[in-house]
Amino acid sequence: RLPESNTETEVPLSLGSAGVALDAETQVSQIQQALVNNLHWVQGKDEQFANAHDYYTALAHSVRNQLLKKRIRTAKTYAEAKAKNVYYLSAEFLMGRQLGNGLINLGMYDTMRHALADCGLDLDELLEREAEPGLGNGGLGRLAACFMDSLTTLNLPAIGYGIRYEFGIFTQLIRQGHQVEAPDKWLSYGNPWEIARPDYRVEIKFGGHTEVYKKDGDDDYQVRWIQAQTVIGIPHDVPVPGYGTDNVNLLRLWKAEAGEAFDLDAFNAGDYFGAVANKMISENITKVLYPNDETRQGKELRLQQQYFFVACSLQDIIRLHLRDHSNLGNLAEFSAIQLNDTHPAIGVAELMRLLIDEYSFEWAAAWQITQRTFGYTNHTLMPEALEKWSVDLFGKLLPRHLEIIYEINHRFLAQVKLRYPNDPDRLERLSLIEEGGERRVRMANLACVGSHAINGVAALHTELLKQEVLQDFYELWPDKFSNKTNGITPRRWLLQCNPRLAQLISETIGDSWITNLDDLKQLEAHLDDEAFRHAWQAIKQENKWSLARYIHDAVGIEVNPDSMFDVQIKRIHEYKRQLMNVLHVITLYNRMVQNPGDHVVPRTVIFGGKAAPGYAMAKLVVKLINAVADVVNNDPSVNGRLKVVFLPNYNVSQAQRLFPASDLSEQISTAGMEASGTGNMKFALNGALTIGTLDGANVEIREEVGADNFFLFGLTTEQVAACKAVGHNPWYYYDTNPELKRTLDVIASGLFSPGEPDLFLPILDSLLVDDPYMVMADFAAYVQCQEHVSRTYEDRDRWVRMAILNTARIGKFSADRTIADYAREIWKVKAVPVAGE
Ligand code: 6GP
């Protein structure tokens, strides 16, 4: 039922963009024409042999063509404007699937669905064919993706620079309740969204030594770096659309290739393996994403990855600058480089090296350019996440950079000494080099010294940075510090993932909320409209039915869509306290067993999240959740009133199904530990109520939605600190709280580990010996608060009103607001809109 193909692979569509809108029929026939052309001329198949994946790829190319058309105009516009650019350096970009997002942002979604249906194809099915690019671990990587969406939507010239990992975050399998990791072969069917740009290749050096030399005809000495190894970086460009704009920005991801792929001498000597060995060593650099969330990785390959992508990106930034300007003296006026945590912090030393060694700048001038160019965002308060590299390793891999870091440090500490003459401890704390034991380079200190702006990602987090983690830097340079509370893109996290709710909202208040999320406030005027509340609730119910079907297909568990969907989805980490959630589940279970006749509000408790493969305690929590699920879900006395689900392989695509179907959002980290959280915002945007502590952005979410519409419990940051200061005694809670005692005793009894009575001992030990995350201290308050949640849920009309208010008042947490703040206060960049066709 497709038309005949023609040789025009590019179809003159003007869908979703300004200009003359085509009538619906013409649009549909043009979409179909583009699809069949791509099927034939990109995939080389016709309808007889094409499979669903071929159709997906053909469709992806249709969308890509639209994006590239816009990209070409964007590149021209930016170059002509000589505008200041944002360069967002991030080791992770967790973009999620591109096709649906591309269609939404191009305004083509509904037309496409219709055009496909018209020739017997189901858009939803094709969307499911896309492999998710899992090039990130969690919060930090997903934030970078939301930022790219907002940067483009706001027409800000930007490039996101990162790594094209051949294997992204591992696929999580659950076997006998345990997490098992499998490689993520996301590229095995090709990637229609990227364009390799071998013409923009760059050379990167590693190892070797440095030497002093005299340039010809010059009296001054220069330093040069004689490398041991050269690696080539090939950029792969992914177009990043914005909503309702003709601008298209770029995500530029670097792939490592061998400088000299083939050693002819070795080959001729008969050493066939040796002939390609160098190729393998080089390509290893971008082979795999380190699966650690907020834990430092002291591995050499990780430092290689960091340096590789940063060095590639800086050369690219310089190439772009010199294309439009005569020299690098004004780099900072046209480039704002943001360091997404310390992973790219080596950029400070690399830019200094480029300016001094390659472009012959004096130190002072180079340093001024560097400081004015960089900004640094911190994303965690976890001490184990602060990156430090052994000086030995550093010097071996990057000898010239170590020299430069020593020089930066020398000059910096001299300055500090002037200001604090008799304070050696302060000097020691501020130094870029950690002494005592193995000497190590402190990347956070390098980032602070080399940047003009330092920011945290939520108000509380920024305060804690100033008071604790970065206190000495704050005292030195208070003006460098600011807060930029995180945000999320409403395009993916409402318009795309919850089309029913998005439509209801747009029918009620218009669709300006899509790019101006504060407009959701207008929903408050409809709170007393019963029909509106019913429609709202009916949509939540439909979404819950969809999720119930998905859960059944994924793990074979039948859940009751009328029960409360109580959801905790995020990386598994002790500070996030999935353990406290599962202890609550066990407590509910104990009650049902003890008092079978009691009235209960039915719940489905859903967990999702990956544990770092080397994080034994987190993996044991995964096992405990699954073990509890086994017992609870199969106990006839529970009678379906409580179900526990662990959904394997939590990722962006799965998140898009979960947020719209959730009633309760679990944001229960120990106060003072979660920098911000962004899942908390996605839940509230989709009308879920939060049970949470005063941590990260929860504090600001509660301020916005109102204390009455937020279930607060637990110790505050100050109380946690005070408690620890006097000596936290977990046994006290065990001895005085009979329900908590019973819950731990049931675990100890082996009920959840038949045949392996000691399996969960490490968890009990951790809780009772030092309880570093205050689970024992917060448990009673948590359980009590959950009772309040249940009672509230019984009054369904009240709950719906609270849900509507959460959505209505969440506008502050649009990534558009966050990015506008960065643009105005840190980057000083202006919008450069591409003129409509
Ligand atoms: C995360 C923080 O844990 C989370 O609270 C925050 O919302 C997110 O960053 C975005 O700012 N941190 C990381 O994922 C991380 O790897 C080094 O930090």
Nearest CA to 690 among 815, 831, 806, 544? 806
User: pLDDT, tens digit, for every residue of 370-386?
Assistant: 999 999 999 999 888 88
User: pLDDT, tens digit, for every residue of 325-380?
Assistant: 999 999 999 999 999 999 999 999 999 999 999 999 999 999 999 999 999 999 99
**Res 35: pLDDT:** 92
Pocket test for ligand 1, best of 148, 380, 667, 680 (most atoms within 8 A of CB): 380
Instruction: Tell me the pLDDT band of 20, cut-offs 50, 70 and 90.
Output: very low
Q: Which residues line ligand 1 (CB under 6 A)?
A: 138-140, 143, 293-294, 341, 379-380, 385, 457, 486, 674-678, 696
Strand, helix or coil at 235?
strand
Supply φ then ψ for residue 547, to 5 degrees: -65, -40
* Residue 58: pLDDT over 50: yes
**Res 177: pLDDT:** 98
* Residue 216: pLDDT over 90: no
Instruction: Tell me the pLDDT band of 15, cut-offs 50, 70 and 90.
Output: very low
Supply φ then ψ for residue 140, to 5 degrees: -65, -40
User: pLDDT, tens digit, for every residue of 514-524?
Assistant: 999 999 999 99
**Res 16: pLDDT:** 37
Mean pLDDT of 590-603: 96
Nearest CA to 315 among 354, 275, 371? 354
* Residue 252: pLDDT over 60: yes
Number of H helices, E strands in the chain: 33, 23
Contacts of 465 (CB under 8 A, 6+ apart): 378, 381, 454, 456, 474, 481
**Res 241: pLDDT:** 97
The continuous run of DSSP H or E covering 254 comes out as: strand 248-258
Q: How many CA atoms lie within 13 A of 553 on its CB side?
A: 7
Q: How far apart are CA 136 and CA 655, in angstroms?
A: 14
ipTM score assigned to the predicted complex: 0.99
Share above pLDDT 70 across residues of the chain, in percent, rounded to a whole number: 97
Q: Whose CA is nearest to atom 8 of ligand 1?
A: 139
Q: Output the CA 322–ligand 1 centroid distance in Å.
A: 34
As annotated, the active-site residues are 379, 570-571, 576, 678, 682
**Res 9: pLDDT:** 47
**Res 522: pLDDT:** 98
**Res 593: pLDDT:** 96
Q: Output the CA 651–ligand 1 centroid distance in Å.
A: 16
Nearest CA to 668 among 698, 693, 697, 688? 693
- Label the pairing between strands 440-442 and 388-390: antiparallel
User: pLDDT, tens digit, for every residue of 183-195?
Assistant: 999 999 999 999 9
pTM over 0.95: yes
∠ CA 827-829-830, nearest 5°, is 155
* Residue 578: pLDDT over 70: yes
**Res 503: pLDDT:** 98
The tokens for 764 are 């009990």
* Residue 116: pLDDT over 90: yes
Nearest CA to 663 among 702, 689, 693? 689
Mean residue pLDDT across the chain: 95
Q: How many CB atoms lie within 10 A of CB 561?
A: 17
Asked whether 816 and 517 are in contact (CB, 8 A), the reply is yes
- Label the pairing between strands 603-608 and 195-196: unpaired
Contacts of 321 (CB under 8 A, 6+ apart): 328, 331, 334, 335
The amino acid at 238 = V
Contacts of 456 (CB under 8 A, 6+ apart): 377, 378, 462, 463, 464, 465, 483, 484, 675
User: pLDDT, tens digit, for every residue of 727-737?
Assistant: 999 999 999 99
User: pLDDT, tens digit, for every residue of 684-715?
Assistant: 999 999 999 999 999 999 999 999 999 999 99
Dihedral sign, CA of 698, 700, 705, 708? Answer: positive
Pocket test for ligand 1, best of 379, 483, 575, 615 (most atoms within 8 A of CB): 379
Pocket test for ligand 1, best of 88, 169, 294 (most atoms within 8 A of CB): 294
